[in-house]
Chains A and B, each alone.
Chain A
Amino acid sequence: MSDPTPAAAASRTAILTGNQAAAHGAFLARTQVVSAYPITPQTTIIETLAELMARATWPAKFVNVESEHSAMAVCIGASATGTRAFTATSAQGLALMHELLHWAAGGRLPIVMVDVNRAMAPGWSIWSDQTDSLSQRDTGWAQLYCSSAQDVLDHVIMAFRMAETLSVPVMVVEDAFVLSHTAEAVSLPAQALVDAFLPPRDAPWKLDTKKPAAFGGLLSPDWYQEVRQDLHDSLTRLEGEAARCYAEWERLTGRSYDVVESWNLADARTVLVTSGTVSSTALDVIESDWARRERVGLVQIRMFRPFPAARLRDLLAGVEKVAVIDRNCSFGHHGIFFQELKSALYGLPDGQRPKAYGYVLGLGGRDIGVEAIEDVVRRTLARATPDPETTWLGAVLPAAPAVPVPPAPESVR
């Protein structure tokens, strides 16, 4: 950690939940237009932000809309007109926005959104689950998975810069309740520091009566693919841009981040791969004596899109086993971090490629505690080869007793 700058010294500490931290991040970033629709557990983001925006010293507007789809629509309109726009949502709301997530990315609009990971209905669930945000992985949004309130605040600010540099929208993701509603000490950087890091938006193109143009008209098959390829290329470059942002942020605040964090990898034979707040619990597990004896390491994936495949290959080359914890599932296949990681590891040469074990647990907000993670590690250590099927863990109810198969009736024999 380098010495904090004088500006950093002007920061103050506050006890903030993840949601409050998100709101402060958006406010410090001098967001100009916010539009959001309430949904548990996002509500305190927009409530806090509404209060903060009322005190904004710059022209800003909070648009209360009637649905999340419209919230994203307002952000698109505002961003297309050259302003800095922000929203937040969760689960059903994010799913309702889906059409427009494509629109924001295809429109190359640097909107920042916080998604509070929440399980998808039915039945109704307000608790932490990653399926909502991961269902949006193909839309062209960057996705950053945070694990602390400080992480959230810092990343909301940095997200604007990454977004505006590359003209892609960025989603900052936090777990429901365990992060969104859990308070911790958060260092609030001074406005001057944030201003130094994040200048006012200078949109390379926007709706402008001095340069009239149409945005989003019919796009021929002759050109559509290349236009989308440009999005892909820019999104891919976001990993490098993140690294630059992190370096500067560290210089300004003393806090360092990486697109992929790792612990105890030096001589690890088995590596646990997590995302979000599960990572801090997992860190406790691998720091235990038995895990150290078993040479278990930990990788936390912060940046999911663009997927840091090369980085993960570097970190995991030569490791015997990787065990991925997914608090989500792409039904009919596997947990999504698991799938994506396997796809990345495929690029390793034979002999370097770890065996990959995937586990789905914690869906619908079921707690992923130390025991559950230990169970994941033990199962991984115990099996020589991964189960080709998805492994579902943590059921509270025991399995139903096996039902004896009745003998076939006379007529069938």
Chain B
Amino acid sequence: MSHHVDEVLSREEILQPGHLACPGCAVTPAYRWALKVLGRETMVTAPACCFAVIDGSFPFSASGVPFLHAAFEAAPAYASGVRAALDVTGQQATNVLVWAGDGGTFDIGLQSLSAAAERREDMIYVCYDNEAYMNTGVQRSSATPAHAWTTTTPSKAGKREPKKHLGEIMAAHRIAYFATASVSHPEDFVTKMEQAKATKGFRLIHLFCPCPTGWKADSRHMVELGRLAVETGVFPLYEVFDGERYVINHAPSWRPMQEYVALQGRFSQLTKDDVADMEREARAGWARLVRHARASDDAVAATAAPVTT
């Protein structure tokens, strides 16, 4: 890792140990890193999600920064209120960070998220995506991938619908900065958090967050799962600036999907066809991403070229 990233990750601890995350939870390293980038001049809002419990019950909080629990569907709106208050009291430099799971982002919170994005609220939104409603016991969300077992998609086929595409939704909102990231790639995540910190407007980082508990995987594989998701093309790493310019950060090495699936009990019922389907989906998603990236390269070229009449 770069010396700079090592230095960032060696900064003082803000998140405290003694929190209530499951062993091997990916959220807490990410939160720890995010706070190291943003520093203590940060206020966090979190909806109902695992982290709302991980932070600790009253009268304890592990976060180390002001932390406002929010109703499930309204974290971006709570955060907008915090932002407004900070702005009118001369605290424009204080970071507002929404730290939300996939449930509060993709589903019940999508409306307030869309509104905050549309208003270009000056905040950073990190969606840590463990691909189901984990806090309430592993029920499906629209972020759950197709074929995955959850308690509300328990049949052999698992969830039928593909994962909702948050990146495309956010690009359509033309937000200042969108990026995907994975806990398995800390340098990439830190770089993106820094980019987010330096950008004004609505910034969203979609963070892939393996959940050994909910995915029925060995806790020690938390990082490897993220790595495999990136390398199988399930979760590509890219950025979108102003909804227009796509930058792909990493080309997958196309590890066989079976390697990813084999580590997770939530995929234990998959047939070979299902796995092939996942591979096709990953390839198709990658192709779409590449088209976006090419189109944005062309767009840059087009705007740079002189207009001929």
Whether chain A touches chain B in the assembled complex (some CB pair under 8 Å): yes
Asked if B119 and A64 make an inter-chain contact with CB atoms under 8 angstroms apart, the answer reads: yes
Contacts of A85 in B (CB 8 A): 81, 85
Q: Which residues of chain B from 14 to 30 have a CB within 8 Å of any chain A CB?
A: none
Contacts of A58 in B (CB 8 A): 88
Choose one: B41, B57, B66, B70; the contact of A213 (CB below 8 Å). Answer: B66
- Contact residue range for chain A? 35 or more
Q: Pick the interface stretch among B109-117, B146-154, B174-182, B243-251.
A: B109-117
Most buried by B among A215, A217, A218: A217
Asked if A33 and B74 make an inter-chain contact with CB atoms under 8 angstroms apart, the answer reads: no
Q: Considering the chains assembled together, what is the distance between the CA atoms of A67 and B94 in angstroms?
A: 26
Contacts of B68 in A (CB 8 A): 77, 80, 207, 214-216
- For the complex formed, measure the closest distance between the CB of B273 and the CB atoms of chain A, giving whole angstroms: 42
CB of A83 within 8 A of chain B? yes
Asked if B78 and A69 make an inter-chain contact with CB atoms under 8 angstroms apart, the answer reads: no
Q: Considering the chains assembled together, what is the distance between the CA atoms of A207 and B70 in angstroms?
A: 13
Asked if B74 and A60 make an inter-chain contact with CB atoms under 8 angstroms apart, the answer reads: no
Q: A80-B82, A81-B82 are in contact. Are A59 and B88 (CB under 8 A)?
A: yes
Asked if A76 and B81 make an inter-chain contact with CB atoms under 8 angstroms apart, the answer reads: yes
Contacts of A220 in B (CB 8 A): 57-58
CB of A116 within 8 A of chain B? no
CB of A231 within 8 A of chain B? no
CB of A79 within 8 A of chain B? yes
Asked if B112 and A66 make an inter-chain contact with CB atoms under 8 angstroms apart, the answer reads: yes
Asked if B119 and A212 make an inter-chain contact with CB atoms under 8 angstroms apart, the answer reads: no
Asked if A81 and B58 make an inter-chain contact with CB atoms under 8 angstroms apart, the answer reads: no
Interface residues of chain B: helix, strand, loop or mixed (majority): mixed
Q: Which residues of chain B from 54 to 104 have a CB within 8 Å of any chain A CB?
A: 55-58, 60-61, 63-71, 73-74, 76-90, 94
Residue of chain B at shortest CB distance from A59: B88
Asked if A65 and B80 make an inter-chain contact with CB atoms under 8 angstroms apart, the answer reads: yes
Asked if A77 and B81 make an inter-chain contact with CB atoms under 8 angstroms apart, the answer reads: yes
CB of B184 within 8 A of chain A? no
Q: Which residues of chain A from 40 to 67 have a CB within 8 Å of any chain B CB?
A: 58-61, 63-67
- For the complex formed, measure the closest distance between the CB of A74 and the CB atoms of chain B, giving whole angstroms: 4
CB of A32 within 8 A of chain B? yes
Asked if A208 and B88 make an inter-chain contact with CB atoms under 8 angstroms apart, the answer reads: no
CB of B258 within 8 A of chain A? no
Q: Considering the chains assembled together, what is the distance between the CA atoms of A83 and B85 in angstroms?
A: 6
- For the complex formed, measure the closest distance between the CB of A106 and the CB atoms of chain B, giving whole angstroms: 11
Residue of chain B at shortest CB distance from A103: B71
Contacts of B79 in A (CB 8 A): 77
Q: A59-B90, A60-B88 are in contact. Are A209 and B65 (CB under 8 A)?
A: yes
Q: Considering the chains assembled together, what is the distance between the CA atoms of A336 and B43 in angstroms?
A: 42
Contacts of A212 in B (CB 8 A): 40, 61, 63-67
Contacts of A63 in B (CB 8 A): 80-81, 84, 119
CB of A157 within 8 A of chain B? no
20 A-B contacts (beta carbon < 8 Å): A60-B88, A65-B80, A66-B115, A70-B74, A73-B77, A76-B78, A77-B70, A77-B78, A80-B78, A99-B71, A100-B71, A207-B43, A212-B40, A212-B65, A214-B58, A217-B56, A217-B57, A217-B60, A218-B58, A219-B57
Q: Which residues of B contact A (CB under 8 A)?
A: 40-43, 45, 52-53, 55-58, 60-61, 63-71, 73-74, 76-90, 94, 111-112, 114-115, 118-119
Besides the contacts A218-B52, A220-B58, what 6 more A-B pairs have beta carbons closer than 8 Å? A32-B85, A74-B78, A85-B81, A212-B67, A215-B67, A218-B58
Closest 7 CB pairs of A and B: A77-B81, A216-B69, A73-B77, A214-B61, A81-B85, A66-B115, A218-B57
